[in-house]
Amino acid sequence: MSTASTQLPEGRYGRSADERADRKLKIIGAVLGTGLLVLIGWFASYYVGGNKISAEVIAFDTSASEVKVHLEVRKDADASGYCTVRSQAENGAEVGRADFRFDGDATRIDKVVTLRTTTRGTSAELLGCHAD
């Protein structure tokens, strides 16, 4: 007797165990991939939608006891808040830090603010802006 006559024909009686396992892995991978995309989308919308105030330093001018900082602030019309600016000396030590408030209905504000320093500052750095 030959062994070929005792084996069942392949593919005739349903899927093999390997094919079922492959299908389950594909389904699990698709679910996890979709979940990851939803999570990334949620974080992105939270980050973009959560920032009601943003700003950048356009220019700055230093003197012995102050730094004049030209800030450009963009915000929602109904948003109010503040931006924090600091200055450092040539050796990297912080010589001044202050918060500057921005209120009103304007969505774009160009303003020169004065940051008092303990010694001559060589830089002006925007640390961040926060809505109230």
Range ranked top by mean pLDDT from 14-18, 51-55, 95-99 = 95-99
Q: Indicate whether 46 and 59 sit together in one domain.
A: no
Q: Report the predicted TM-score, pTM, of the whole model to 2 decimal places.
A: 0.61
Q: State the number of CA atoms in the 13 A half-sphere of 28 facing the CB.
A: 6
pLDDT tens by residue, 58-90: 999 999 999 999 999 998 888 888 999 999 999
71 and 85 belong to one structural domain: yes
Mean pLDDT of 12-26: 76
Same domain, 80 and 113: yes
Among the listed residues 53, 58, 54, the one whose alpha carbon sits nearest the alpha carbon of residue 69: 58
Window from 15-19, 67-71, 124-128 with minimum mean pLDDT: 15-19
Tokens representing residue 9 in the block: 């024909």
Q: Which residues pair with 109 in a beta bridge?
A: 73
> Do 15 and 68 sit in the same domain of this protein?
no
Same-domain check for residues 14 and 57: no
The domain total for the chain is 2
Q: Residue 127 belongs to what domain range?
A: 53-131
